[in-house]
Structure 1
């Protein structure tokens, strides 16, 4: 979205939060990257229909100020149709980053809402090959955009950033994970690995969501440090020895293409991962990520990676990462959007818009 904001006005309309307010309001924040962040603040105690009506009204008020301008409606979740299905944009994009219906606590209506969104979408972007294969027969314009990378941001980890205070006193080697900690993590594998190699330190960054924090395995070499901002991540990765992606193999991980895979690699870290399909196909088969299936195999391969020379590995990593970036991804997405906008303008009998200055993003998305 920050790349889109270089050329367009981008409004990121998030999920609502509860607040002690007499009536629904919209909090607007101009983010440093140029995105206008819009957060609905709703009084407590509203039922679902009232919440949806309030969000619809707030969205309409925001877009009324931009009436007559070209509009792209960009959805990250089908559930946003509950308050945004009345919009009549020039282009509708469904950016399908995950199979959300497979996540714990997914609304029962998710599949029906997705069917409706696919019917009205002009373009469908998928966040990985498995998702693309699952959606390609459901829409004529499905395009695969696997997780990309801000190489410069994560590459800072290679330049000797100061060590974060929260890791002071944690020994080496350090094997790290960052991301949301939820039902997608194989906690049994984490516990078994920590118990097998008590001389190695496992550093786990990220908020605990949808699972009981008490269920997290504990031990002297397990360090659950909580969430950190995107800006802080390179400093942590700079002081780890290996990256670790202990994903459980279940319905919620069947279609994932973890963004953290190229982020670890850009930071210069060798990576170990359980056999998530897209990780295996995109990185494991290329020899850039070590695929493991047990704590014993994890320990064995970690030993090997800790001993290997980094220079040849980093040369292969950099050659691969040079093929992809969020800049290139946005350029390709923008070309598709502009083609759809031109077609819409032609059908409507008006000049094609040179730019699309408003992108209404009708959902919230979590980043660690």
Structure 2
């Protein structure tokens, strides 16, 4: 039996529940890197429009990375949507040799219209426990079970997710949130803040991320009220919650979503970074990407007791953990007093030394090639 060393297939089709241009995070970091070696297609969820014929629109970001957006006639029910998506996907793939394709799923829901195609390799990158999010489709749990049976290899976005899923697959690997260290470490050297933040005077506490059901609005409200001398800067889009329901005050500043390239400049003006996530079902398995990003920027961090922040960051004393407003205030006061402590920064840099999206990409690629090799051996036996 002569089994050749496997190589990556020519094409990768990524089924994503997140818009490519929404927030630059795990899918963007990984898919951009795979696009150096393969043709990568990102299939977003549909946009519904009036007076349009159902079609796929293509946005070529570079010669090997293409964003595909389904544009469907408004008014379809779920069954009609699945049938149209099935038809559009089949037309896109045409008579392609599926041995040249990897299917990479971020959303199990995509299996409803893609299960008729058998790619050379099927990957489930389980970034979040999507079924715990507000407004999650009721079919999501069943679709995830089906995807776990279909997938050749499973990646999880954190240790808690890995613990929850590891009994359901025999080729599952944990890849926690990583960082673009070179990018975020720029915050340590930037001296000029962006204009909208520069006009805010005083001690600045900051948060970057989507403001949704995971964000502990009441915690931030209490901290802002108890410490009106602290300025709380919130960067990111407001999603699935009413803006009117969020805390307001002279020391609360909602600056909106910012370009990924501009984030280090904003971080450079903060005194302490915050991870104010509520402890609920939607945060039970999250591994916040912002944790290592804040640390790479040289910032002290205060977080609620999110499991994947407590371990390893809290245990390693790299991040302060606080459960309520009074504990948050105490931890922030400690962080302000100790933010220039040299030993802590050395420990942070040592911890982050081998953590990067480049390393994550390379390790994922090894798992993919190993799985292809084992599959080829099985087929040849």
TM-score (norm 1): 0.91
Bigger mean CA offset, 209-218 vs 293-302: 293-302
Residue 68 to residue 112, structure 1, CA distance change in 2 (3 Å): closer
SS of corresponding position for 1:312: helix
Q: Hey, what's the Cα distance between the residues in 1 that align with 2:167 and 2:131? A: 18
Q: Does 1:205 align with 2:235?
A: yes
Q: Hey, what's the Cα distance between the residues in 1 that align with 2:351 and 2:313? A: 9
How far did residue 148 of structure 1 move? 0.7
Q: Does 1:120 align with 2:189?
A: no
Structure 1 partner of 2:344: 313
- Superposition pairs for residues 173-322 of structure 1, below 5 Å? 173-308=203-338, 309-322=340-353
Bigger mean CA offset, 56-65 vs 239-248: 56-65
- Superposition pairs for residues 1-368 of structure 1, below 5 Å? 1-31=31-61, 34-64=64-94, 66-67=96-97, 70-160=100-190, 162-308=192-338, 309-348=340-379
| Structural RMSD (CA) | 1.7
Deviations 1:343-365 (A, max 9, x none): 33444559xxxxxxxxxxxxxxx
TM-score (norm 2): 0.88
Structure 1 partner of 2:11: none
Bigger mean CA offset, 112-121 vs 39-48: 39-48
Q: Hey, what's the Cα distance between the residues in 2 that align with 1:72 and 1:48? A: 26
Conservation of the 8 A alpha-carbon contact between 2:42 and 2:68:
yes
5+ long unaligned stretches in structure 2? 1-30
Conservation of the 8 A alpha-carbon contact between 1:90 and 1:344:
no
Deviations 1:209-255 (A, max 9, x none): 11111110001000112212222211111111110011100011111
Runs of 4+ in 1 over 3 A off after TM superposition: 65-69, 343-350
Q: Hey, what's the Cα distance between the residues in 1 that align with 2:175 and 2:121? A: 18
How far did residue 26 of structure 1 move? 1.3
How far did residue 33 of structure 1 move? 9.3
Conservation of the 8 A alpha-carbon contact between 2:38 and 2:64:
no
Conservation of the 8 A alpha-carbon contact between 1:2 and 1:34:
no
5+ long unaligned stretches in structure 1? 351-368
Conservation of the 8 A alpha-carbon contact between 1:183 and 1:210:
yes
Q: Hey, what's the Cα distance between the residues in 2 that align with 1:347 and 1:287? A: 46
Q: Hey, what's the Cα distance between the residues in 2 that align with 1:53 and 1:86? A: 12
Q: Hey, what's the Cα distance between the residues in 1 that align with 2:346 and 2:141? A: 43
Q: Hey, what's the Cα distance between the residues in 2 that align with 1:271 and 1:249? A: 17
Conservation of the 8 A alpha-carbon contact between 2:211 and 2:239:
yes
Deviations 1:250-290 (A, max 9, x none): 01111111011001111111100000011001100001000
Bigger mean CA offset, 216-225 vs 227-236: 227-236
Q: Hey, what's the Cα distance between the residues in 1 that align with 2:62 and 2:196? A: 26
Relative contact order, higher structure (CA 8 A, sep 6+):
1
Q: Hey, what's the Cα distance between the residues in 2 that align with 1:219 and 1:93? A: 45
